[in-house]
A and B are shown apart, each in its own frame.
Chain A
Amino acid sequence: MARGVGLGEGPLNWLRLALGEIQRGILIYFLGLNALYFVLVLISIFAILRYMRAMSYRNLQEVLKSKLAPPISVIIPAHNESAGIVSAVKSIFQLNYPEFEIIVVNDGSTDDTLEKLVRAFRLRKTKRVYHKSLPTRDVRGIYASRMAAPWAELVVVDKENGGKADALNAGVNVSRYPLFCSVDADSMLERDSLLRVAMPFMERGDIVGVGGIVRVANGCFISQGVVRSIGLPNQWLPCFQAVEYLRAFLSGRIAWASLRSLLVISGAFSLFKKSAVVEVGGYDRDTVGEDMELVVRLRHALKPLGKPSEVDFVPDPVCWTEVPENLRTLWRQRNRWHRGLAQCLYRHRGMTFNPRYGVIGLVAAPYFWIAELLSPVIEIAGYFVFFLSLLLGSLQWKAFAAFLLLSVMMGINLSLFAVVLEEFTLHRYPRVRDFLRLLAGAVFENIGYRQITTLARLDGILDNFRQQYAEWGTIERKGLDTAA
């Protein structure tokens, strides 16, 4: 028997009854989500404190000088990146790491990306053997630099257009080293990023992938591929995204990683064990969320075989990336991310509620279905149901207030916890002005901004029923180099 609405006669009353029950369901969903998020936040606090303490006793200089540090191939897939590709490559060369090579994969660019690389690094076509361990579109040529070290470690693969996943697979095929790091051409790594992200591979033998934190570069002063000063953007849209990134990385991923159930690491900056990736067939060329799909597939394929399949997250190797500054680009980005999530979860649905996958199957995968994928559906349904109830005259204002307050307060609290973690551990925004903006962003992103991204995500789910193809996720960029 429904408790919210009195029972009357006729279809309208049944509708009111149903709406009342849906309102209850939505409230239960939000209460449950709140509880779950707080558990994750608590886990994150402990995990990040443990990590920061451990790192304060690690000697990065030792690793830097060591011949035992595993060499890394840094792969930069590039499609029409003419504006920033040269500075992106130069910035990678400034990384602190004992041994690494850089592989740029020009994925059939229609602009002068390749020509710019050839000119800037004096490239020549080589006879380097293309070891096709993963299927890719045809490679037109492999180029190496005529310049002396360290530029000699640059390899450029020119290939037919096949999408980001295809480009990454080509990079893996050309790579010489046991680990490879995928980096977006529009992102920039901090100098010690590779050192830090490689640490889990040196500490544990069961690791196949590691992700680092991605932060918002808008608002930072960047020159010659190096972040000279850190700051928050002046516009509110990228500022909200800065808070959102902190929340996603500091309270979500750390918690899942410490539960050994992480299912997603950012494609903008991730390090993988090459042999494991080759074993599962490389990046999937038919999905828009190739980064998450690879992580889930590694888990899905390797765990039942008893092979190493752990994926870790480390919170301090920073990758700076430019985020959208207008709503249209933001909408497209979020739509694409959510489409990728939906495709990935559907493709690997066999893991969900499957006890063979332990915590991943019983907790993490259902969480991604219920709390990540379906949350825009439920939130928007909530607004719709309350609106319909208002029209039918059966709106329970207390329920409506509870729904609004719960969803907004939950968001604010989660963002504030992320700011707390940031302030007490990583402390990348030391200026008081930035600190106050972070606080304000944590509060105000929940009023308006979050609802817009929720709609974009819902649109992404609907798009999955309309179209399914892999594409390059491009956003309108001004370029990272603010000094230029």
Chain B
Amino acid sequence: MQAIEFDPLFNISLYVSVLLAWLVLLITAALVVSKITRRLWQRYSERRQAFYLPLILKAVAEEGSVELMPRSTYRWGDRGIVEAALLQWTQTLSGFGLERISRIFEEAGFADEEIRRLKDWRWWARARAAKRLGTMNCAKASEALIRALKDPVIEVRLVCAWALGRLGRLEAVEPMMQALAPHSRLGALSLTHVILQMGPRTAPVLERMLGQGDPAAQALAIRLLGDLKDQAALPLLLPFVGSDSLELRIAACRAIGVLGQEQGWEAMLGALEDTAWEVRARAAWSLGMLKVPASAAALAAALGDRSWWVRVNAGEALARMGERGREALERALSHQDRFARDMAAQWLEELALGKVH
């Protein structure tokens, strides 16, 4: 047997292993302690919330005469517990109750605290502040929320837009569009939700935005005008069908289809000849929404389009069109293009089964 020399690598490995073993013990202990602590805190805060609940109810019922957090019973941590209770309660209230609880929130100084937190260095604290202000319908926070729409973190901007939507502030629509529409589909989606909740009174602002700004904001404005069924917007939308921007052409075709005004059909026939398949597919879809019988021939021709999606949408549009559409589909069964014949057969079958609405 050979003599074994000292090797520092083995010692290092052993030290690392021992260190790892200590780490195992440490993590396990930390996990157990944190689990116990969290459970205890949860029980404690539930008890304190139960203590404050009658006071909150009394404060809602008797305006201005109830001290929400009496000094004699106040304990460390109670402020957070009361604020959480108010926020939780708000979700079940509307009308007068919501107004009252919102005023209690402001009177207790929570609103000012949250407005200050909109400038916190941690983005999640800013987002939480915006969410709380929105949940409490805190009108005095409008200006601060509009300013916070320029926050560098998208989550904060999203929550601010949501809060402003709850407050129904019309002057916030344009800053919201500029803050969120160019960011992503999620921003546009959130904005759509907010603006549709605010309703048709936002239409004049959106119409104004058609002539200016970022293409993404313009495309969203076009889309929203369609969704809001703003019939007066059609003449403003038609020029966008010939826009240089693909995004704007698609949005315009969709909005015209959603508006459902027959006057839009000629523009859609033109769009059916667009170089981009996305526009042709959307135009075919819109013609199906407009249901103008005179467009049947063009749609029947589109059944033989080189793009699959144009063919699908043209078939569906014809199926939606009623008698003229059905006749066109039946004629297409003898189309020279096999794909057009197959598509016609598919949609005739869907029609027969009553699956087209």
Partner of A202, one of B5, B10, B24, B186: B186
Which 8 pairs show the lowest CB-CB distances between chains A and B? A405-B17, A402-B13, A409-B20, A6-B2, A202-B186, A62-B193, A68-B189, A202-B185
Instruction: Please determine whether B343 and A129 come into contact, CB atoms closer than 8 angstroms.
Output: yes
- Once A57-B131, A127-B349 are accepted as A-B contacts, the answer to whether A6 and B5 lie under 8 Å apart by CB is yes
- Does any Cβ of A come within 8 Å of B345's Cβ? yes
Question: How many positions in chain B have a CB within 8 Å of any CB in the partner chain?
Answer: 56
How many A-B contacts if CB must be within 8 Å?
158
Most B CB contacts (10 A, CB to CB) among A62, A199, A394, A423 go to: A62
Answer yes or no: B145 CB below 8 A from chain A CBs: no
Q: Give 1 or 0 for each of B328-357: 1 = CB within 8 Å of chain A CB.
A: 000000000001001101100100010100
* Nearest CB in chain B to that of A409: its residue: B20
Q: Which residue of A lies closest to B13 (CB)?
A: A402
Interface contact A31-B16, CB-CB below 8 Å: yes
Decide: A410 near B20, CB < 8 A? Known: A129-B342, A201-B185, A416-B28. yes
Shortest Cβ distance from B336 into chain A, in angstroms?
17
CA A65 to CA B189, docked complex, whole Å: 10
| Interface residues of chain B: helix, strand, loop or mixed (majority) | helix
Contact A27 B10 (CB under 8 A): yes
On A, residues with C-beta under 8 Å from B are 3-8, 13, 16, 24, 27-28, 30-31, 34, 53-54, 56-59, 62-63, 65-70, 126-129, 131, 133, 146, 152, 176, 199, 201-205, 393-394, 396, 398-399, 401-403, 405-406, 409-410, 412-413, 416-417, 419-420, 423-424, 432, 435, 439, 443
Q: Do A129 and B7 have beta carbons less than 8 Å apart? A: no
Which residues 164-204 in B have Cβ within 8 Å of A in the complex? 184-186, 188-190, 192-193
Nearest neighbor of A1 in chain B, beta-carbon distance: B5
| Interface 9-residue window, one of B56-64, B155-163, B206-214 | B155-163
A6 to B3, CA, bound (A): 6
Closest to A27 in B: B13
Q: Please tell me if the beta carbons of B355 and A435 are within 8 angstroms of each other in the complex.
A: no
Q: Can you list 29 A-B pairs with a CB-CB distance of less than 8 A? A: A4-B5, A4-B7, A6-B4, A6-B5, A27-B10, A30-B13, A54-B155, A56-B124, A57-B158, A57-B159, A59-B193, A66-B192, A68-B188, A129-B339, A152-B355, A203-B154, A394-B1, A394-B2, A396-B7, A405-B17, A405-B20, A406-B13, A409-B17, A410-B20, A413-B27, A423-B34, A424-B34, A432-B35, A439-B32
The smallest C-beta distance from B122 to any residue of chain A, in angstroms, reads: 9
* Contact yes or no, B190 A62, CB < 8 A: yes
**A418 vs chain B, min Cβ distance (A):** 11
Judged by a CB distance under 8 angstroms, whether B31 is at the interface is: yes
Whose C-beta in chain B lies nearest to the C-beta of A59?
Answer: B162
Contacts of A203 in B (CB 8 A): 154, 184-186
B10 contact from A57, A394, A399, Cβ within 8 A: A399
Whole-angstrom distance from the CB of B183 to the nearest CB of chain A?
A: 8
Known contacts A57-B127, A409-B20: A62-B14 contact under CB 8 Å: no
Instruction: Report A223 CB to chain B, min CB distance, Å.
Output: 29
Question: B residues engaging A (CB < 8 A)?
Answer: 1-7, 9-14, 16-18, 20-21, 23-24, 27-28, 30-32, 34-35, 124, 127-128, 131, 154-156, 158-159, 162, 184-186, 188-190, 192-193, 227, 308, 312, 339, 342-343, 345-346, 349, 353, 355
Chain A residues, CB < 8 A from B162: 59, 62
| Chain B nearest Cβ from A137, distance in angstroms | 20
Query: In whole Å, how far is B167's beta carbon from the nearest beta carbon of chain A?
Result: 16
Shortest distance in angstroms between A6's beta carbon and chain B's nearest beta carbon? 4
Knowing A412-B24, A413-B20, the reply to whether A129 touches B9 (Cβ < 8 A) is no
Chain B neighbourhood of A63, CB < 8 A: 186, 189
Complex Cα spacing A413 to B20, Å: 7
